[in-house]
Amino acid sequence: MTDTTFDAAASRPATAVLYRAFWRWHFFAGLMVLPFMISLAVTGALYLFQNEIEAVVHRSTLVVAESATPPLAPSAIVERALAAQPGTAIRYVPPASPTASAEVGIKTAAGVKTSLWIDPHDGRVLGQTDDRAKLMWVIRKIHSLEYFGPIANGLIELVAGWAIILVLTGVFLWWPRGRDGGVVTVRGIPRQRVFWRDLHAVTGAFAAVVILFLAVTGLPWSVFWGAHVNEWATGAGVGYPAVMWDDVPKSTVPSKDVLEKTGWVLENAPMVKSTPTTGTSIGLDAAVAVFDASGIHRGYAVDLPGDDPEGVFTASVWPAKVADERLIHLDRYSGKPLVDVRFADYGGVGRLFEWSTNVHMGKEFGLINQLVMLAGCVAIVLLAVSGATMWWKRRPKGKLAPPRRLPDDRVGFAVVAVVVILGVVMPLVGASLLVALTLDLTSIAVARLRAG
């Protein structure tokens, strides 16, 4: 979080070497991940206010006039949607309030998933949008880099890991060491490099905890680390409550491949199966009645069984308070709940991860949660701008000008320890660190040869 050369307070040989090493790693870490972190910060800031943005952008489709007329039956609402857009109904979202519309998800003959919003009182179609064209769907996919394919999505883990390195090395570089300026105050004026140096350092110092939290809690969504930790948590019995699936018919297909949305804990839980008996489904109306009677939090969505004779009705809700999370699988023939899992049923690791990701998304503590996470996002952008500006002001024209390495510099224990620890905890990040360390050692050897 600073760009100055080591000063008198850091002039002892061992400290100077460590300072230079951390400065170089901080520089190269920023060079690699800050462009991605700006994207994460901007899209993350927008996603923090998902409900507020959608309430404005989609007001005409989400809000209806309160009416004394009883709402139509869920099946009638789905029929109205199918009349407007032929296909297969895959999802139904009951109105969350007397002034809310109902949502019906349909898969068209071309395989495109689209959503229609219906006035539950008169059956009018209020609007229709392909799922991939929804504003928040696009923002979320850009945020996770899934929008650019699985390889790009895998970069999330590397970005999070290097962001952790940025924070840790930045705090070390910011540490006062007897200095007063640039610790909690900003010196100079914008045309001076010291202003941007101090702005960078002070911003990083105040925002370090939030940025570190955002980086760590973003890891569950990563392709490699998140998937393997989820698998470990499931096997160790500290993720989803596998015992609740023991006495029900289930498939080998994970929930994330079938359901429109699952929480991190439940994404690898197997889908349960209905047992064909009479061959007649209870239907959507009866299923919704069962879900309503269960007391599930309003705003839940129902994934429909479609034409699969072993399919189930699934109600799931992921509201602001993580304690209200719930998922219910219902046998389509008997109407019997096969699995009814709540947040309290998760294992310790599952509860920790679900809670932390809820805070990451700004949901758990209301507006204050949103504002704190927003401050972290703004700080990331400010750090990127100030870091780039002070580098631009000090660099010789036409050169990258990384922090200088001296021929007698050594790779200290602290640097090796960081590589080993992160390599064990986050293998992809550890591998990238090993590459970076190899390149750094090579530069040392070259520098010594030139000096000798």
Same domain, 342 and 390: no
The answer on 382 and 252 residing in a single domain is no
For residue 88, is it within any domain? no
Same domain? 306 vs 384: no
Q: Within a domain: residue 98?
A: no
- Give the 3-state DSSP-derived string for the chain, with helices as H, strands as E and coil as C: CCCCCCCHHHCCHHHHHHHHHHHHHHHHHHHHHHHHHHHHHHHHHHHHCHHHHHHHHCHHHHECCCCCCCCCCHHHHHHHHHHHCCCEEEEEECCCCCCECEEEEEECCCCCEEEEEECCCCCCEEEEEEHHHCHHHHHHHHHCCHHHCHHHHHHHHHHHHHHHHHHHHHHHHHCCCCCCCCCCCCCCCCCCHHHHHHHHHHHHHHHHHHHHHHHHHHHHHCCCHHHHHHHHHHHHCCCCCHHHHCCCCEEEEEHHHCCCCCCCCCCCCEEECCCCCCCCCCHHHHHHHHHHHCCCCCCCEEECCCCCCCCEEEEEECCCCHHHCEEEEEECCCCCEEEEEEHHHCCHHHHHHHHHHHHHCCCCCHHHHHHHHHHHHHHHHHHHHHHHHHHHHHCCCCCCCCCCCCCCCCCCHHHHHHHHHHHHHCHHHHHHHHHHHHHHHHHHHHHHHHHC
Q: Do 308 and 421 fall within a single domain?
A: no
Determine the pLDDT at residue 12. 45
Q: Do residue 181 and residue 38 come from a single domain?
A: yes
Judgement on whether residues 217 and 247 belong to the same structural domain of the protein: no
Q: Is residue 315 part of a domain?
A: yes
**114 in a domain, yes or no?**
no
Q: Is 188 inside any structural domain? A: yes
pLDDT at 219: 87
> Where among 312, 346, 380 does a domain terminate?
346
What is the per-residue pLDDT for 365? 96
What domain range includes position 285? 240-346
Asked if residue 334 and residue 253 are part of one domain, the reply reads yes
* Per-residue pLDDT reduced to its tens digit, 371-417: 999 999 999 999 999 998 988 887 777 777 777 765 555 555 666 67
Residue ranges in the chain whose pLDDT is less than 50: 1-12
> Is position 97 within any domain?
no
Residues 251 and 341 in one domain: yes
Q: Indicate whether 214 and 308 sit together in one domain.
A: no
Question: Based on the domain organization, do 377 and 336 belong to the same domain?
Answer: no
- Determine the pLDDT at residue 5: 40
Q: Could you tell me the pTM of the whole model?
A: 0.88
Same domain, 246 and 337: yes
